[in-house]
Amino acid sequence: MPANAGIKVEGARELRASLRRAGEDLSDLKAAHAAASGVVVAASRIRAPHRSGRLAGSVRGSGTATKALIRAGGVSVPYANPIHWGWKARGIAAQPFITDAAQNTEPVWTVLYERQVELIVNRIRGA
């Protein structure tokens, strides 16, 4: 092949710009992460063991640019981790109410992500 042989791609600059915009837009799914965490939080509060209701009340969620977070416990509810994950040495069986809620509500929150990605793709296409 000759040294000066090459391939010319029509619309390459536009393609690069679209891919760059898509990468930037897809890296920030904060709204979708927040919505997904809200779905899991609601289901987690229902599934949490209820004695006083403090554990269920301590479940909270948030969405960042890169992930959905669900947390439980805190200073006033230090037993959240042992209740959720268990503590074999203390004879506490795991009651994974948050992970169960996330798995059981997956069909709901995956739709939220699909819609957000679709909105981003349509915006990039100019629709």
Model confidence pLDDT, tens digit, residues 26-38:
666 788 889 999 9
pLDDT band at 64 (very low <50, low <70, confident <90, very high): confident
Range of 122's domain? 29-75+95-127
**104 Cα distance to chain centroid:** 14
Residue 105 forms part of a structural domain: yes
Q: Work out the average pLDDT over 60-80.
A: 92
Residue 15 forms part of a structural domain: no
- Please state which of the ranges 84-88, 93-97, 109-113 shows the lowest mean pLDDT: 109-113
Residue 86 forms part of a structural domain: no
What is the structure's pLDDT at 65?
A: 81
Rounded to whole angstroms, the Cα distance separating 44 from 36 reads 12
Question: Domain total for the chain?
Answer: 1
Q: Work out the average pLDDT over 5-30.
A: 63
Residue 89 forms part of a structural domain: no
Residue 127 forms part of a structural domain: yes
Residue 13 forms part of a structural domain: no
